């Protein structure tokens, strides 16, 4: 995609690059690997759970094994990428909520779609909530999954309870994950950011007006604090 | 703040495990009621939505009907036999209504099964004195099960032709499946095609993968479900 011209900003003091760096190579590979593992997890879960797919696919022992191992491996890409400073910096940004995030959430509740009503730093409030919730939910799935996998570890009541939580949380995660993918499908430039690592300046200024990586770099070379 | 959401989700998950027994009773009661009045069948897709779940260990199972279905009885017997579907239907039929309990937790209450007592087929074949067990094989090409001779002769073990007062459909293991009322449902092998009398028990498909051979409901596999008989 070609970056659109920027006629409304003719008086730049110097020629700014048209693209901004959004995600590092390590982050993008961690995302790819996580997406692949999560996809296999969801597909195998569907084949174990939905009668129509179970009848189509069968091979229960094999599908169970694939589901167990991809599930166990799901946190590995992100944990491995924790060695990347860019990922740790982004996790810091995802953790911090400011007043603009409350404003963003209120605008969503009011269905106010104007970009000016939805201020965001590098990640908007929805992305922050999604990241934190998905990370927690994945670990709950992992914990309850391990209780079902290694049946001798816990007494039966716990195992039945773990199955109950695993089943219902799977349904919830499936819906939220569909939302995550749906949002990405609706925003080609956001997808480009995750695919190539950079986004156009125009997109960043519209969707993430408070995110100014260059200004922050010149001010503090090693940290990118979020305004509060 | 993000950390709080993360830890909160983890905490809710742990709380969910603790509260699950109570929550599960609630959802089962609610969904059970809703499923009775749900013409779309969508409630069946929800967790604990009630009813049977389909498990098969192979990629596809051939369909058999009255034309090509055969059940062989062989092994340590004096008179090996091959039955057609019509042949099985001509024998005395027994009807039983019991709960079905799966080892993975789901239970279908009050399910009628109807068919020929296994003991009848064994008696007709003339089991030799050296025999100690019965092995079952299936026309899916992979599944197998077995029972001791004593278990196999119980009155509540059927070669089932009908379930829920209908001829057994393919997805429920039709046209003929085993029905071992007092045991977890994996013992009730679907798509039954062979009965072989052996000298001792040979573990079946799931039993080679860790499940108990003597699968009494409530007294095996580390579970304490209410017995089905």
Residues B93-151: pLDDT tens digits? Answer: 999 999 999 887 788 888 999 999 999 999 999 999 999 999 999 998 889 999 999 99
Residues A174-212: pLDDT tens digits? Answer: 999 999 999 999 999 999 999 999 999 999 999 998 998
Cβ contact B102:B185 at 8 Å? yes
CA-nearest residue to A157 within chain B is B21
Greater confidence (A71 vs B102) lies with A71
- Candidates A135, A136, A169: best to mutate against B (most CBs of B within 10 A) is A136
Least confident span in A120-124, A222-226, B5-9, B100-104? A222-226
Give the confidence band of B23 by pLDDT, cuts at 50, 70, 90.
Answer: confident
State CA A76 to chain mean position distance: 15
List C-alpha distances in Å: B78 to A60, A203, B164: 37, 83, 35
Q: What is the mean pLDDT of residues B189-214?
A: 91
Residue B100 bridge partners (DSSP): B108
Write a three-state SS string for A97-124: CCHHHHHHHHHHHCCCCCHHHCCCCCCC
- Token output for B162: 């009908």
Interface of A with B (CB under 8 A): 50-51, 54-55, 57-61, 94-97, 128-129, 131-133, 135-137, 139-140, 143-144, 151-152, 156-158, 160-165, 167-171
pLDDT for position B108: 86
Q: What is the mean pLDDT of residues A19-42?
A: 95
pLDDT for position A16: 76
Give the confidence band of A221 by pLDDT, cuts at 50, 70, 90.
Answer: very low
Q: Is the ipTM of this complex over 0.90?
A: no
Residues B69-78: pLDDT tens digits? Answer: 999 999 999 9
pLDDT for position B44: 62
Residues B28-50: pLDDT tens digits? Answer: 667 666 666 666 666 666 665 55
The angle, 0 to 180 degrees and rounded to 10, between the axes of the packed helices B2-36 and A85-95 is: 70
Least confident span in A23-37, A79-93, B97-111, B128-142? B97-111
Determine whether the interchain pair A167/B2 forms a contact, defined as Cβ–Cβ distance below 8 Å: no
> CB-based burial of residue B94 (10 Å sphere; 0-12 exposed, 13-18 middle, 19+ buried)?
middle
Q: What is the mean pLDDT of residues A160-169?
A: 87
Greater confidence (B199 vs A218) lies with B199
Q: What is the mean pLDDT of residues A112-141?
A: 92
pLDDT for position B30: 73
pLDDT for position A57: 84
Size (chain B), residues: 229
pLDDT for position B22: 78
Determine whether the interchain pair B44/A95 forms a contact, defined as Cβ–Cβ distance below 8 Å: no
CATH fold of A96-228: Fumarate Reductase Cytochrome B subunit (1.20.950)
B209 touching A, CB under 8 A? Answer: yes
Q: What is the mean pLDDT of residues A165-170?
A: 91
User: Which residue carries 């008989």 as its tokens?
Assistant: B229
Q: Nearest to residue A119, comparing CAs of A183, A198, A209?
A: A209
B63 touching A, CB under 8 A? Answer: no
Q: Which residue among A51, A58, A137 sits closest to B57, beta carbon to beta carbon? A: A58
B79 touching A, CB under 8 A? Answer: no
Mean pLDDT of chain A: 86
- Candidates B11, B13, B209: best to mutate against A (most CBs of A within 10 A) is B13
pLDDT for position A218: 56
List C-alpha distances in Å: A228 to A44, A97, A206, B96: 43, 8, 19, 70
Share of chain B above pLDDT 70, in %: 90
How do beta strands B81-83 and B94-101 pair?
unpaired
pLDDT for position A131: 94
Q: Which residue among A55, A61, A167 sits closest to B209, beta carbon to beta carbon? A: A61
Q: Which of A215-219, B18-22, B45-49 is predicted most confidently?
A: B18-22
Domains of chain A by residue range: 23-89, 96-228
- Candidates A62, A129, A164: best to mutate against B (most CBs of B within 10 A) is A164
Greater confidence (A227 vs A137) lies with A137
Give the confidence band of B25 by pLDDT, cuts at 50, 70, 90.
Answer: confident
- Token output for B176: 């003929």
Share of chain A above pLDDT 90, in %: 62
- What value does the CA radius of gyration of chain B take, rounded to a whole number of Å? 20
- Token output for A32: 């790819």
Q: Is the peptide bond before A76 cis (omega within 30 degrees of 0)?
A: no
Residues B202-222: pLDDT tens digits? Answer: 999 888 888 899 999 998 888
Q: Nearest to residue B159, comparing CAs of B182, B188, B134, B135?
A: B188
pLDDT for position A196: 95
Domains, chain B, in order of start with CATH, read: 2-45 (no CATH), 71-209 (3.90.420.10)
Determine whether the interchain pair B5/A94 forms a contact, defined as Cβ–Cβ distance below 8 Å: no
Cβ contact A194:A28 at 8 Å? yes
């Amino acid at each position: 995609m070609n970056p659109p011209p920027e006629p409304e900003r003719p008086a730049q003091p110097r020629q700014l690059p048209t693209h901004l760096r959004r995600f590092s190579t390590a982050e993008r590979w961690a995302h790819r690997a996580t997406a692949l593992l999560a996809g296999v997890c969801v597909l195998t879960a569907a084949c174990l759970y939905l009668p129509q797919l179970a009848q189509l696919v069968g091979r229960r022992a094999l599908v169970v094994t694939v589901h167990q191992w991809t599930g166990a491996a799901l946190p590995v890409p992100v944990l491995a990428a924790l060695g990347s400073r860019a990922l740790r910096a982004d996790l810091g940004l995802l953790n911090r909520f400011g007043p603009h995030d409350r404003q963003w959430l209120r605008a969503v509740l009011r269905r106010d779609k104007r970009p000016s009503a939805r201020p965001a730093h590098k990640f908007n409030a929805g992305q922050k909530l999604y990241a934190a919730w998905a990370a927690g939910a994945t670990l709950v799935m992992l914990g309850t999954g391990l209780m079902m996998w290694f049946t001798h570890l816990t007494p039966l009541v716990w195992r039945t309870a773990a199955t109950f939580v695993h089943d219902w949380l799977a349904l919830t995660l499936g819906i939220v994950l569909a939302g995550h993918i749906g949002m990405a499908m609706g925003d080609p430039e956001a997808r480009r950011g995750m695919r190539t690592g950079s986004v156009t300046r125009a997109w960043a200024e519209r969707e993430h007006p408070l995110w100014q990586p260059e200004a922050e770099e010149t001010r503090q070379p090693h940290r990118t604090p979020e305004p509060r | 703040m993000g950390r709080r959401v993360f830890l909160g989700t983890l905490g809710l998950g742990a709380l969910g495990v603790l509260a699950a027994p109570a929550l599960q009773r609630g959802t089962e009661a609610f969904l059970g009621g809703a499923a009775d009045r749900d013409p779309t069948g969508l409630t069946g897709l929800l967790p604990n939505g009630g009813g049977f779940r389909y498990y098969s260990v192979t990629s596809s199972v051939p369909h058999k009907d009255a034309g090509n279905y055969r059940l062989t009885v062989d092994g340590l017997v004096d008179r090996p036999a091959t039955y057609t579907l019509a042949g099985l239907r001509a024998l005395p039929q027994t009807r039983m209504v019991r709960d079905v309990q799966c080892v993975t937790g789901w239970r279908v209450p009050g399910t009628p099964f109807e068919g020929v007592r296994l003991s009848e087929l064994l008696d007709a074949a003339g089991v030799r004195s050296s025999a100690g067990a019965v092995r079952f094989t299936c026309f899916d090409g992979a599944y197998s099960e077995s029972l001791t001779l004593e278990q196999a002769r119980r009155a509540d073990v059927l070669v089932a032709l009908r379930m829920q007062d209908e001829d057994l459909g393919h997805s429920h293991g039709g046209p003929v499946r085993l029905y071992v009322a007092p045991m977890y449902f994996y013992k009730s092998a679907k798509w039954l095609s062979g009965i072989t009398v052996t000298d001792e028990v040979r573990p079946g498909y799931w039993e080679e993968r860790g499940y108990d051979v003597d699968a009494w409901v409530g007294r095996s596999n580390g579970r304490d479900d209410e017995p089905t008989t």
